[in-house]
Chains A and B, each alone.
Chain A
Amino acid sequence: MLEFIIGLYEGFLANPAVEIWQDPAYFIQNVAGGLMVGILYSLVALGYVLIYKASGVFNFAQPMMAIFATLALIMFHDKVLFPAIGTGYGLTIVLAIIGSMVMMLILALLVERLMLRPLVNQPEIILFMATIGLYYFLEGFGETMFNKIANSPVPMESLGMEIGPFFVGGVMFQKVDATAAAVAAVMVILLAVMFQKTSVGRALRAVADDHQAALSVGIPLSVMWVVVWVVAGAVALVSGLMWGASAGAVDFGMVFVALKALPVLILGGFTSIPGVIIGGLIIGVGERIAEIYWSPYLGDSIESWFAYILALIVLIYRPEGLFGEKLIERI
């Protein structure tokens, strides 16, 4: 028994600590790498939080929206605009982004009209089921529409993104990852200000809290839903672009990586924007470090399950997540 405990101690704490001590640069390298992956998880999770906060709907289709929006952008860019006007001093990419966002706007209008409005005041689980339907619709429709460009790379050059590593104090970073992190940071700040400081944000929070009360003060429910689905569409586009850039190409298989957003949500709390950012970072770094230092004892592919175990532990001790709002219910 004692031997077993000592073994655990050596394997999980002492040996990793010695390894870190002997090669700190390698450790920092991996922490940095983990942070970069984490911020990508956070971006996908952010889309879920937005829609959940504003309409109480857990949008299962969010990662599919990311792939859909990104493929739409690539299609506009590669097949329509680039052949016609070349790089056009950045005009191509701007038009492609607008084109993709118009598609997300149309999607938002259709979702509000055909899905949310008929299901108003229904239990959350019904709306959740509807978003599963949306997921498969987007997958099928997307495969038909974009089958020629699936597996295409993101137009890095037009976006002004560079590929390759750079070094800070002997630690290697990928330029793509750094760009993604910067974009994510800017988005999070913008969204936080919008939600907390503006009247649109207040109206969105009001709608999330109580549909009837929101209606009674004259908040137009349907407009707010369209607004939030468009914003979630924008987040989807950005997260799809960043994932695609760091993975090399965009295809429908990316959706499985996006599943990591679920433990991020559980960890950070479904209603907290800062929560999902920190949740994403914790999971990104945690799984990378665990993979490297614990794989001699737990076997390989820790990265594929670590996030879920972590989420499970959080669920047991803090079901509202690290930063989520505690539910107060009067009985």
Chain B
Amino acid sequence: MNATARKKANENAETMLSVEHVSLSFGGVKAIRNVSFDIRKGEIRAIIGPNGAGKTSMLNVINGFYHPQEGTITFKGEKRSDMRPHIAATQGIARTFQNVALFKGMTTLDNIMSGRTLRMKRNMFWQALYFGPARREELEHREYVEEVIDFLEIQHIRRQPVGKLPYGLQKRVELGRALAMEPDLLLLDEPMAGMNLEEKEDMSRFVIDVSEEFGTTVALIEHDMGVVMDLSDRVVVLDHGVLIADGTPDEVQSNQDVIDAYLGISH
């Protein structure tokens, strides 16, 4: 499916998540001011903006690391004044981080397996025993994880501690851990930062495949405009915590406020 066809399909899709009038401040610093937008089921939604625009803060609000002072977050029809990380994870929101947050001492396999935590049905007591039903369950989850590993083409590093891997591969493992959660909404914080062209192309391909094959809704923060324009169905632009534009890549690109925000205005 090409991008235009996908956009058409999404236009009538239901809303998966919407943030309404969200404001977040740290002491006197206003990180987000009265921002509202929505994410539709199945789309790839980009959040862009200059440094310090409040993009990462927005993701942190969505998955509950930050609690906004004002506004609401509605996910799957349930309206909340703030999220909690555990609830977000349970409800199907997975994420990656700007500065890769992997479990560095653990292997690729263990890192991705940790994404299955919430899918484990046995309680702690059984899991701690290692034998019997817990062992069988572990093996079932292992199968799913192997599929994720195949999908991301990282078979060759499955036994290596991730702390020693090159940056590009770490980002891929982190995506794998998020995918292992079988999320409905995937939040990617600069998935291509610090990558070379080839790695960026690989990562773009994975994001599109995730969206098309699994039907996962994706919200991503990205600085590379080429990537944003190619990948995303709709784009939100933030600047100094304020939403200055929201629309298709073409609309956003020609928006005067956006151009000013990126290039600066002459006074």
Taking CB as reference atom, which chain A residue is nearest B125? A200
For the complex, is A193 an interface residue (Cβ under 8 Å from B)? Answer: yes
Taking CB as reference atom, which chain A residue is nearest B109? A202
Interface-lining segment among B29-37, B90-98, B207-215, B232-240? B90-98
- Provide the residues of chain B in CB contact with A206, threshold 8 Å: 103, 106, 114
Kindly state the interface size class of chain B when it binds its partner: 35 or more
- Provide the residues of chain A in CB contact with B181, threshold 8 Å: 217-218
Interface-lining segment among A132-140, A149-157, A208-216, A303-311? A208-216
Chain A 214-247 near chain B by CB (<8 Å), digits 1 or 0: 1111111001000100000000000000000000
Q: CB distance A220 to B106 under 8 Å?
A: no
- Provide the residues of chain A in CB contact with B177, threshold 8 Å: 217
Knowing A205-B106, A210-B101, say if A200 contacts B90 (CB, 8 Å). Answer: no
- Provide the residues of chain B in CB contact with A219, threshold 8 Å: 114, 117
Q: CB distance A199 to B97 under 8 Å?
A: no
- Provide the residues of chain A in CB contact with B127, threshold 8 Å: 198-200
For the complex, is A197 an interface residue (Cβ under 8 Å from B)? Answer: yes
CB neighbors of B among A89-113 (8 A): none
For the complex, is A298 an interface residue (Cβ under 8 Å from B)? Answer: no
Knowing A200-B124, A212-B101, say if A328 contacts B89 (CB, 8 Å). Answer: no
For the complex, is B144 an interface residue (Cβ under 8 Å from A)? Answer: no
For the complex, is B85 an interface residue (Cβ under 8 Å from A)? Answer: yes
- Provide the residues of chain B in CB contact with A199, threshold 8 Å: 113, 116-117, 120, 127, 134, 138
A325 to B105, CA, bound (A): 8
Knowing A215-B85, A216-B85, say if A194 contacts B117 (CB, 8 Å). Answer: no
For the complex, is B52 an interface residue (Cβ under 8 Å from A)? Answer: no
Q: CB distance A209 to B105 under 8 Å?
A: yes
For the complex, is A203 an interface residue (Cβ under 8 Å from B)? Answer: yes
Taking CB as reference atom, which chain A residue is nearest B119? A218
Knowing A197-B130, A210-B101, A217-B177, say if A223 contacts B118 (CB, 8 Å). Answer: no
A203 to B111, CA, bound (A): 10
Q: CB distance B163 to A328 under 8 Å?
A: yes
For the complex, is B102 an interface residue (Cβ under 8 Å from A)? Answer: yes
A325 to B162, CA, bound (A): 13
For the complex, is B63 an interface residue (Cβ under 8 Å from A)? Answer: yes
For the complex, is B104 an interface residue (Cβ under 8 Å from A)? Answer: yes
Q: Tell me, rounded to whole Å, the shortest Cβ–Cβ distance linking A108 to chain B.
A: 14
For the complex, is B76 an interface residue (Cβ under 8 Å from A)? Answer: no
- Provide the residues of chain B in CB contact with A201, threshold 8 Å: 128
CB neighbors of A among B142-198 (8 A): 163-164, 167, 177-178, 181
A213 to B113, CA, bound (A): 13
A330 to B99, CA, bound (A): 11
- Provide the residues of chain B in CB contact with A208, threshold 8 Å: 105
A220 to B63, CA, bound (A): 14
Chain A 61-94 near chain B by CB (<8 Å), digits 1 or 0: 0000000000000000000000000000000000
A215 to B94, CA, bound (A): 10
Knowing A205-B110, A206-B103, A209-B103, say if A194 contacts B118 (CB, 8 Å). Answer: no
A194 to B117, CA, bound (A): 15
Q: CB distance B128 to A200 under 8 Å?
A: yes
* In-complex Cβ contact of B114 among A212, A217, A328 (8 A): A217
* In-complex Cβ contact of B106 among A194, A197, A202, A217 (8 A): A202
For the complex, is B263 an interface residue (Cβ under 8 Å from A)? Answer: no
A213 to B97, CA, bound (A): 8
Q: CB distance B101 to A202 under 8 Å?
A: no
Q: Tell me, rounded to whole Å, the shortest Cβ–Cβ distance linking B160 to chain A.
A: 12
Q: Tell me, rounded to whole Å, the shortest Cβ–Cβ distance linking A222 to chain B.
A: 9
Q: CB distance A209 to B117 under 8 Å?
A: no
* In-complex Cβ contact of A198 among B114, B116, B130 (8 A): B130
Q: CB distance A203 to B105 under 8 Å?
A: no
Q: CB distance B117 to A203 under 8 Å?
A: yes
A212 to B65, CA, bound (A): 8
For the complex, is B265 an interface residue (Cβ under 8 Å from A)? Answer: no
A201 to B127, CA, bound (A): 9
For the complex, is B54 an interface residue (Cβ under 8 Å from A)? Answer: no
For the complex, is B68 an interface residue (Cβ under 8 Å from A)? Answer: no
Besides A212-B65, A213-B102, A219-B117, 4 new A-B residue pairs in contact (Cβ under 8 A), listed by A number: A199-B127, A213-B103, A217-B178, A218-B117
6 A-B contacts (beta carbon < 8 Å): A199-B127, A209-B102, A209-B103, A213-B103, A215-B89, A325-B105
Nearest 5 pairs between A and B by C-beta? A218-B89, A209-B103, A213-B101, A215-B85, A218-B118
